[in-house]
Structure 1
Amino acid sequence: MTNATGEPAVTRLYARLVVSDAARAIDFYRDALGAEETERYTGPDGTIVHAMLRLGGAAIAVKDADPADPAPTSLGGSPVIMALDVSDADAVAEAMVRDGATVVYPVADQHYGQRGGRLADPFGHLWMISQTIEDLTPEQIQARTNESFT
Structure 2
Amino acid sequence: MRPNRSIPSATVIPVLIYPDVRAAVAWLGEAFGFTERVRIGEDHRSQLAFGDGAVIIGDVRHDRRPPRPGEVTHSVTVRVEDARAHCERARAHGARILMEPTDFEYGERQYTAEDVAGHHWTFSETLADVAPEEWGGTSVS
TM-score scaled by structure 2?
Answer: 0.82
Deviations 1:33-60 (A, max 9, x none): 2211111122xxx5x2211111110111
Larger helix proportion, structure 1 or 2?
1
Provide the identity percentage.
26
SS at match of 1:72: coil
Query: Runs of 5+ in structure 2 lacking a partner?
Result: 2-9
- Tell me the TM-score normalised to structure 1 length: 0.78
Q: Give the count of matched residue pairs.
A: 130
Q: Does 1:93 align with 2:87?
A: yes
Is 2:16–2:56's contact at 8 Å kept on the other side of the alignment?
Answer: yes
CA contact (8 A) 1:101 1:120 kept: yes
Measured on the aligned residues, the alpha-carbon RMSD in Å equals 2.1
Structure with the greater alpha carbon radius of gyration = 1
Partner of 2:46: 51
1:33 aligns with 32
Whether the 8 Å contact between 1:77 and 1:125 is mirrored in structure 2 is no
**1:66-116 deviation line (CA, Å, top 9, x unaligned):** 232111136x43321100111000111111111111011111211221111
Q: Which runs of 5+ in 1 are unaligned?
A: 2-10, 144-150
Aligned twin of 2:56: 61
| 1:21, distance to aligned residue in structure 2 (A) | 1.6
